[in-house]
Amino acid sequence: MVRWGSCLVGAVVIAIIVADLYFFHVAFVPAKKDFLERPLPLKPGTALYHQRLWYHDTPKQHWTMESASGHYRLDASYIPAAHSNKAVLICHGYMQNKNDMGAYAAMFHQLGYNVLLPDARGMGDSQGKYVGFGWPERYDERKWMKRLVHHLGPHVKIVMFGVSMGGATTMMTSGIQLPKQCVAMIEDCGYTSVKAEITHEAKDMYHMPVVPRWPLIPVLSLMVKLRIGYFMGEASSIRMLYHNHRPMLFIHGARDTFVPTWMVYQNYQADRGPKELWICPDANHAHSYRTHPKEYEYHVRQFLNRYVR
């Protein structure tokens, strides 16, 4: 009886490890993900077509740098704006790349901003073994800010902007020491923490009840610690926002189920700087700009006019 019990426990442990290896690969290893929405084709009549066409046709400078950890070469595109001392650092979403942010680049450039669009670790043309979900990348973003200061001079005013994982990266970056030239931040549909987002997806995508989530999520977090360097609960937007004192605009779609809309209220409440919140009506995850483009541009423009002078 004892032997059968030991075998059962061993089988359960093996099953948990095998399941977590699968989930780790699905969530943290860069690869094509079937559960993600495909990029919009660049065709007339599609959402934000003119903005995306402008980005496609606009000449770009190619920038590279070493990651903050020193392990990877990171890639970025830079679009200068004539006679401007303002710059925006744009962070893309999960398993996207800099070119997926073309419509946002067009919006900011039209507002008079030099635009820097990096590829996060393991995505686009940047090197990297794992997806960091914004936590290790926050130090990369700080290095990109310093690169902008070096390129544009000490009087540059930098805005950081991100969507989805990029929004979380923006919030996570807000809590570390940054160049004084970083004066404001805008996040669109970022999650409260990596643990909260992974737990939500385990429930939403796999319909996983509480009991399997309980051993699987902690073991998965341990795997993340061993391979990427942090426990999932550490990678918290909320925790970093407690240390932020820069102006922050929070944007979230009212119908977002991938990063559920309730998360933005927790993020907003945690922030310690001047802040604004806009819930975009009828918008799904990362669709606020395409759903209500004029209103989106209005809220971004008003926020920037207020805090970036």
Q: Which of 3-7, 32-36, 235-239 has the lowest mean pLDDT?
A: 3-7
Q: Look at the block and give the residue holding tokens 């942090």.
A: 230
For the chain, the first-to-last Cα distance in angstroms comes to 75
Q: CA 133 to CA 117: how far, in whole Å?
A: 17
Tell how far CA 152 is from the center of its chain: 25
How many Å apart are CA 236 and CA 234, to the nearest integer?
6
What is the maximum span of the chain, computed from C-alpha positions, in angstroms? 80
d(CA 227, CA 28) in angstroms, rounded, equals 10
Predicted confidence at residue 206, as pLDDT, reads: 62
Q: 240-276: per-residue pLDDT in tens? A: 999 999 999 999 999 999 999 999 999 999 999 999 9
Instruction: Please write down the HEC assignment for all residues of 251-309.
Output: EEECCCCCCCCHHHHHHHHHCCCCEEEEEECCCCCCCHHHHCHHHHHHHHHHHHHHHCC
Q: Is 118 within 8 Å of 89 (Cβ atoms)?
A: yes
Tokens 């009549």 found at: 45
Length of the chain: 309
269 Cβ neighbours under 8 A, 6+ residues apart: none
pLDDT band at 216 (very low <50, low <70, confident <90, very high): confident
The rounded Cα 211 to chain-centroid distance in angstroms is 29
Q: Check residues 217 and 95 and name the one with the higher pLDDT.
A: 95
C-beta of residue 266 within 8 angstroms of C-beta of residue 238: yes
Burial of 58 (0-12, 13-18, 19+ CB in 10 A): middle
CB-CB contact of 252 with 288 (8 Å): yes
Antiparallel, parallel or unpaired: β 73-79 and 114-118: antiparallel
- Assess contact for 126 and 73: CB atoms under 8 A: yes
Between CA 189 and CA 286 the distance in angstroms is 6
Residue 208 in this model has a pLDDT that exceeds 60: no
Residues ≥6 apart with Cβ < 8 Å to 302? none
Burial 95-118 (b: 16+ CB within 10 A, else e): bbbbbbbbbbbbbbbebebbbbbb
Q: What percent of the chain has pLDDT over 90?
A: 82
pLDDT top residue among 15 and 87:
87
| pLDDT above 60: residue 211 | no
Ramachandran angles phi, psi of 162, nearest 5°: -155, 155
Domain borders along the chain are 56-192+241-309, 194-234
Q: Residue 151 class from Cβ within 10 Å (0-12 exposed, 13-18 middle, 19+ buried)?
A: middle
pLDDT tens digit sequence for 8-67: 444 545 666 788 788 899 999 999 888 888 889 999 999 999 999 999 999 999 999 999
Among 3.40.50.1820, 1.10.10.10, 3.30.70.360, 3.40.640.10, what is the CATH number of 56-192+241-309?
3.40.50.1820
What is the rounded distance in angstroms from the CA atom of residue 98 to the CA atom of residue 160?
14
- Quote the DSSP letter at residue 58: S
Q: How far is CA 230 from CA 94, 105, 172, 234, in A?
A: 18, 31, 13, 7
| Mean predicted confidence (pLDDT) in 120-125 | 97
Segment 96-105 shows an average pLDDT of 98
At 100 the pLDDT is 97
Range of lowest pLDDT (10-19, 86-95, 98-107) = 10-19
Conformation bin of residue 128: beta by default, left when phi > 0, alpha when psi is -120 to 50: left
Average pLDDT of the chain, as a whole number: 92
Verdict on whether the full-model pTM lies above 0.85: yes
pLDDT value for 2: 44
